[in-house]
Structure 1
Amino acid sequence: MLTAYQRAMRGRLLAAPVVPAPEPWQPVFESPYGVPVGGLLGIGFATHPGSGHDLVMVVSFDGHGLFDAVTGERLARDRDPEDGAPDAVADLSCPGLGPVAGSRVRVAGLFGGGLHTTTADGWTLEVVTPAWPNDRVLLSSDGGLPHAGPHGERWWHIFHSDHSTLRAAGFSPSGRTIAVATSSDLFLWTRGTDYGPSGGAGE
């Protein structure tokens, strides 16, 4: 049985509408529906060796893809990779492709694993499920639940997985990108390249 506090928190989460992520976060893709990726299994992050941009590796039943997390451009595609799904027994990784070929990328999603849930400068990302099975993704600047400030000021409901199954949600290791992956779509938010992994301005 839920306590009065739990009921109040559940009601607060259910009442919060989806809103745009606050500054400095900006959506990477123009479509509010993200980029469709049928049969998405998981995602992982890498760094472009030339530009320093965050890259997002997408693993699906239809192959592997690599996206630039600043521009949204798909940099590489492999429809028939030799190493298909992430190695669920070993380290949950897949071979890189395109500019990160020759390396391995850790992947989080259907087979397990996880992405960063905090940044060095205090942003927090949480997945909550007040009405199972529809997950909600919350972004906050107040240290996470229980949120002290009003919705839209210190925490934001930025994604509601009501059409497909959530696979993974989190920050890139640099803290410059937010990624949300479902079984059918990829969504990205960026704060560009002016934020360094140490929490200050990048070079």
Structure 2
Amino acid sequence: MLSAYQQRLRERFLAVPEIPAPAPWRRVLDRRTPVGGLQGIGFGAAPDDGRDLVLVFSGSGLGVFDATTGEKLARDRDAEDAMPESAPDLSCEGIGPLAGTRVRMAGWFGGGLHTGTDDGWGVEVVSPEWPHHRVLLSRGSGMPHDGPHGERWWHIHDASSCELRAAGFSPSGRTLAVATSSDLTLWTRPAVPPADGGP
């Protein structure tokens, strides 16, 4: 049985619409990228310039996407032996620009992505109508949903039509990903300057 506070929170989450993420975040593509049978994702860095890359594991193999453009950079349909749950650290061997690199994965088999950035952004998954999930982006400390929706927290993704696999930030904090059983959605932002003012 829900407490009065839990009921108010549930009603609040159900009442707010899905809205775009605030600046400086921008959605990489206007639509969600379809990936049938998506099982998990992980982040790696491009060897040439360090930009974020996303490794996707699905029922039809592995794929690598550029997190800033959404472009598919590599595909391997014969990667059945790359299943992350067979590795003790839930990692996959990368392909294409991530070849030779082990990438930690998160998805239906376990694991997790970063839920916060060094400069105060946070991501949270809530389920006011379980098993349907909503992804919330927030900025600042404390309980993010105490402030006004659209000012301190944003409902940016509704995964009610499919199963959520993973949601979180890249290690650099420049990319936010939401992966479901049928698609991948990415947001990106410019590189964050170091807090000490260094290069």
Match of 1:116 in 2: 114
CA offset digits 1:41-67 (Å, max 9, x no partner): 100000001122100000000010000
Q: Compared with structure 1, are the counterparts of its residues 52 and 200 closer, same or farther at alpha carbon in structure 2 (3 Å cutoff)?
A: farther
Higher helix share: 2
SS at match of 1:178: strand
What residue identity is the alignment partner of 2:173? G
TM-score of the pair, normalised by structure 2: 0.94
- Cα deviation, residue 176, structure 1: 0.3
SS at match of 1:87: helix
CA contact (8 A) 1:139 1:155 kept: yes
CA contact (8 A) 2:144 2:153 kept: no
CA contact (8 A) 1:67 1:73 kept: yes
CA contact (8 A) 1:142 1:148 kept: no
Equivalents in 2 of 1:75, 1:103: separation in Å? 15
Equivalents in 1 of 2:9, 2:120: separation in Å? 22
Instruction: After TM superposition, list the pairs within 5 Å mapping 1:22-171 onto structure 2.
Output: 22-31=22-31, 34-81=32-79, 83-88=81-86, 90-143=88-141, 145=143, 147-171=145-169
CA contact (8 A) 1:83 1:95 kept: no
Match of 2:186 in 1: 188
Residue identity over aligned pairs, in percent, reads: 62
CA RMSD across the alignment: 1.7
Q: Give structure 2 stretches of 5+ with no counterpart.
A: none
Q: Give structure 1 stretches of 5+ with no counterpart.
A: none
CA contact (8 A) 1:164 1:183 kept: yes
Q: How many residues align?
A: 199
CA offset digits 1:141-167 (Å, max 9, x no partner): 033635221100110000011111000
Equivalents in 2 of 1:26, 1:202: separation in Å? 26
Q: Compared with structure 1, are the counterparts of its residues 98 and 181 closer, same or farther at alpha carbon in structure 2 (3 Å cutoff)?
A: same
- Cα deviation, residue 7, structure 1: 1.1
CA contact (8 A) 2:138 2:144 kept: no
- Cα deviation, residue 74, structure 1: 0.8
> In terms of mean alpha carbon deviation, does 151-160 or 74-83 score higher?
74-83
Q: Compared with structure 1, are the counterparts of its residues 91 and 14 closer, same or farther at alpha carbon in structure 2 (3 Å cutoff)?
A: same
2:174 maps to which of 173, 176, 182: 176
Equivalents in 2 of 1:199, 1:43: separation in Å? 29
CA offset digits 1:106-126 (Å, max 9, x no partner): 110010000000000000100
